[in-house]
Chains A and B, each alone.
Chain A
């Protein structure tokens, strides 16, 4: 699993220098067992992830549970420290920064969480919640809280209420307002709509797009829902068991997915159309995700892959460009039409 980490990134056409760039990011967690908390091994949650987010774009990061996408979010925002690899934000390496030197970075790099209610302090009023980013930065708010609430589609008189007085969708709007308060350049959104009803999901996705149009924000949008990811992303990276297996622009990913996992994932999404759904060729994967404690040799996906061959067990495929801007980690990627 280590031969990949020093592989240079394939050339991708990028007009602007990236706002955020990770190289060969690795995070290992110790796994402890029993009363004595004996060290039983390590689980590699993130295993050599290299990503780029350009200013103003949305990179969608998709994958199923346990693929490491939320750990990536926590590494980017330095809620966790990487085991190895680098995270550069606006040209600065975040790895070596202590809490004091991270503070100015946090002004520009914010996060929105999945569960809006548990990410808001239940004892504080909305006014206080939205003032806390300024307090942490030692700044005076540059606009009244009421104005900020209106920006995210809430009312001025919501400012003096407590989180429990809001629905899930409204609470997520407060979470978004808190992330936006400092006018960041990048917002990492970790499953921001998956706890919400479909009609509320649509409203939050629209809000995120409107705010992006207005402020030129970049997003890293993490989700397992491929429909939501398609709706909001400009580029998409697909993760499987700790690694990126495919990355390209949104339309290419949905039109001509090249990695067998991406193809299976897309074919598994139920379409809200009974005719399309019944006539559909489905690639149903065998079995379950292998344990990340004991990942398969070579290609991580080979145990469930319909195309697996001997080479896949022996050699881990590197992420490489099959055409400019479309990178796939597979020995046998789907031929382009």
Chain B
């Protein structure tokens, strides 16, 4: 049973730019869907459309079904209830998503209380438990820290804790590790992998990094110019890519293993 179904999604901006031009997506409960593409491919706009977070001048067409419900055309209040409760999100830059004036546990507790009947103390306990769950050392003490006292990797853990305290069915992660160093990226990807296994959270993973997708996704959609140019299981897309664009995207990434070409194959792109 599909948790998220997108059919013929189009997004147009007031300036006449068509960012998404007829996109279909399917994500089953508990699965990880990787959406890959270069900048301008429409992958982030797609995630914002699912979340109902596009700016007002954007016109959204097509259908977005989440757990049997149509999201396009839903009023702001219903959407807000859905976000957080059922659909949570993690973005690339955790610092700009956290309020610098409040301790991290306060912000997690606030998100929790927005969707649950809970007192301050109970919500704080949930926040500390979530911080522990995402691997923040000394969660009791660090709960009172402010975002600026955390490293980039720790802040991203806080964002994930905030997303998870509501036990969502779907986590939309838009470039969740792009701003992080590789050793920290490995920690965060490990955490996402655990979540999916233990809590059964479905993840829509948006990234430009083919390696990140290979390690986490079950299915992959390759986007280019607002369209899906290729889709399939992660195995098929990586080992038997059908489209020249996908093959090019895979071949032009310099790797740390395998044969080393003197020159890299390049996509015919607009450099």
Contact = CB atoms under 8 A, between A and B. Distances in A.
Interface of A: 64-65, 153, 167, 169-170, 173, 197-206, 209-210, 224-228, 230-231, 254, 264-278, 282, 284-285, 287-289
Contacts of A64: 181-184
Contact of A284 (B38, B190, B239, B252): B190
B153 interface: yes
B253 A227 contact: yes
A271 B250 CA distance: 11
Contact of B256 (A203, A224, A254, A274): A254
Contacts of B181: 64-65, 224, 289
5 contacts: A153-B271, A210-B263, A254-B257, A269-B211, A272-B250
A32 B254 CA distance: 41
Nearest to A250: B260
Contact of B215 (A202, A277, A284): A277
Contact of A275 (B38, B154, B235, B262): B235
Contacts of A210: 263
A203 B271 contact: yes
Given A230-B255, A254-B257, A278-B215, 14 more contacts: A198-B252, A224-B182, A265-B183, A266-B256, A267-B186, A269-B182, A272-B255, A274-B214, A274-B217, A274-B234, A277-B211, A282-B190, A285-B183, A288-B184
A265 B264 CA distance: 23
Interface of B: 38-39, 137, 151, 153-154, 181-187, 189-190, 208-215, 217, 234-235, 238-239, 248-250, 252-257, 260, 262-267, 269-271
- Most B C-beta atoms less than 10 A away, residue of A209, A210, A224, A268: A268
B265 to A, nearest CB: 7
Nearest to B189: A270
B151 A288 contact: yes
A227 B256 contact: yes
Contacts of A287: 137
A200 B186 CA distance: 25
Contacts of B137: 287
Contacts of A271: 211, 214-215, 255-257
A268 B180 CA distance: 12
B269 A199 contact: yes
A167 B249 contact: no
Given A65-B181, A224-B181, A269-B182, A276 B187 contact: no
Contacts, number: 138
A169 B39 CA distance: 12
Nearest to B212: A270
B209 A270 contact: yes
A166 to B, nearest CB: 10
Contacts of A198: 38, 208, 210, 249, 252-253
B256 A169 contact: no
A230 B266 contact: no
Contacts of A230: 254-256, 260
Contacts of B184: 64, 288
A209 B257 contact: no
A33 to B, nearest CB: 14
Most-contacted residue by chain A among B189, B212, B253, B262 (CB, 10 A): B253
Nearest 6 A/B pairs, CB to CB:
A270-B211, A169-B271, A231-B254, A64-B181, A227-B254, A272-B210
A213 to B, nearest CB: 9
Contacts of A205: 254, 264
A270 B211 CA distance: 4
A274 B235 contact: yes
A264 B183 contact: yes
Contacts of B267: 199, 202
Contacts of B213: 272
A225 B270 CA distance: 23
Contacts of B208: 197-198
B256 A272 contact: no
Given A224-B181, A289-B151, A197 B238 contact: no
A105 B179 CA distance: 36
Q: Which of A167, A170, A199, A284 has the most chain B CB within a 10 Å cutoff? A: A199
A289 B210 CA distance: 26
Contacts of A274: 214-215, 217, 234-235, 238-239
Contact of B263 (A206, A228, A288): A206
B182 A202 contact: no
